[in-house]
Structure 1
Amino acid sequence: MSKAENPFRYFNSSPEVIRPVVMMYVRFPLSLRNVEDLLFERGIDICHETVRLWWNRFGPLFAMYVKIDGEMCSSAMARPEQNHRWSVLVQSGDG
């Protein structure tokens, strides 16, 4: 991935911090402030608005790949009308 294609290029935090924060907010029924509190307990001091910003910015990026019945599938190929259970798969690197 070139520097121009890197979606994290304008952020001071590393992708290793951003990914779990966004996935924690999406996966579990937590408020932005609950995520902020959980991260603070783990030594990551960010504002709840940062969680919202990252979720708005990177949520669609992380949702580009989904697992359907245990198989990798791009979201363009996924068919929700077939009553499959979707789960977001966090990929590292180019995937």
Structure 2
Amino acid sequence: MSTTSNPYRGYRFPAEIISQAVWLYHSFSLSLREVKLILAARGVIVSYETIREWSLRFGRTYANSLTRRRPQPGDKWFLDEVFARIRGKLHYLWRAVDQHGNVLDVLVQIGRNKKAAKRFFCKLLKGLCYVPRVLVTDRLRSYGAAKCEILPGADHRQSRYLNNRYEVSHQPMRRRDRHMRRFKSARHAQQFLSTHSPIHNHFQLRRHRLSANEHRAAREHSFATWRDATGVALVE
């Protein structure tokens, strides 16, 4: 991590253990207790509440660091929203992915109207030095209305089928939602997904498009970037 001080100072466990726990929790569909069991098999005795604290304390920092290190996203964006019930109330999880499968951002909102779509577009564009060439969405009218105001120059393609390929990218979130027995609040959902999406996506290497050697090289590069992002190399 790009910091002059050691972020792990004062913690009983070394950086390697902390980053490993956060990686396990966000890269796989594991509960905190299952991560605890895996660490125990390696001789690391730690409570699941401590793992939760590590995830909250370091997870978002890791995710932000990975986001800064990723290549510039593609110019073709696939946008979709799925519903989730949080304490019995309907919410929508807005999500954007580029043509390479990279998750651009996630936003939890209670509506799916023009105002909600505009808010999501503004969040996607924040900090970017370019605008997308193509937007691919379903037939929700809110996208078209927001696009005319925020991204008037982008080509907007609407179809119930064009987005099918990227709707499956919601599956990791769906699995985690079930595993966690539903999110406790909209704030909790946003906090978790903002951490989970960049970390989980970082290790999704699109194996079907790579040879064995290319996959191993890409995997090693992902782990090298992870070590750099978590600052493990700096404290070794």
TM bucket by the smaller chain? 0.7 to 0.9
The answer to whether residue 70 in structure 2 is matched with residue 73 in structure 1 is: yes
State the AA in 1 paired with 2:39.
Answer: L
Name the TM-score, length of structure 1 as normaliser. 0.73
Distance 1:37 1:6, change over 3 A: same
- Separation of aligned partners in 2, 1:15 and 1:47: 17
The list of structure 1 runs, each at least 4 consecutive aligned residues, that deviate by more than 6 angstroms after superposition, is: none
- Separation of aligned partners in 2, 1:10 and 1:78: 37
Residue aligning to 1:36: 36
Larger RCO of the pair (alpha carbons < 8 Å, separation 6+): 2
Distance 1:34 1:82, change over 3 A: closer
Between 57-66 and 31-40, report the one with greater CA deviation: 57-66
Residue aligning to 2:157: none
The alignment's C-alpha RMSD in Å is 2.6
In the alignment of these two chains, the number of paired residues is 86
Residue aligning to 2:12: 12
* Structure having the larger proportion of residues in helix: 2
Between 25-34 and 80-89, report the one with greater CA deviation: 80-89
State the AA in 2 paired with 1:32.
Answer: L
Distance 1:31 1:82, change over 3 A: closer
Q: Gaps spanning 5+ residues in structure 1: where?
A: none
Largest Rg, 1 or 2: 2
Task: Report the identity percentage.
Answer: 28
Residue aligning to 1:47: 47
1:55-79 deviation digits (Å, cap 9, x = unpaired): 0000011112337xxxx428xx668
State the AA in 2 paired with 1:17.
Answer: I
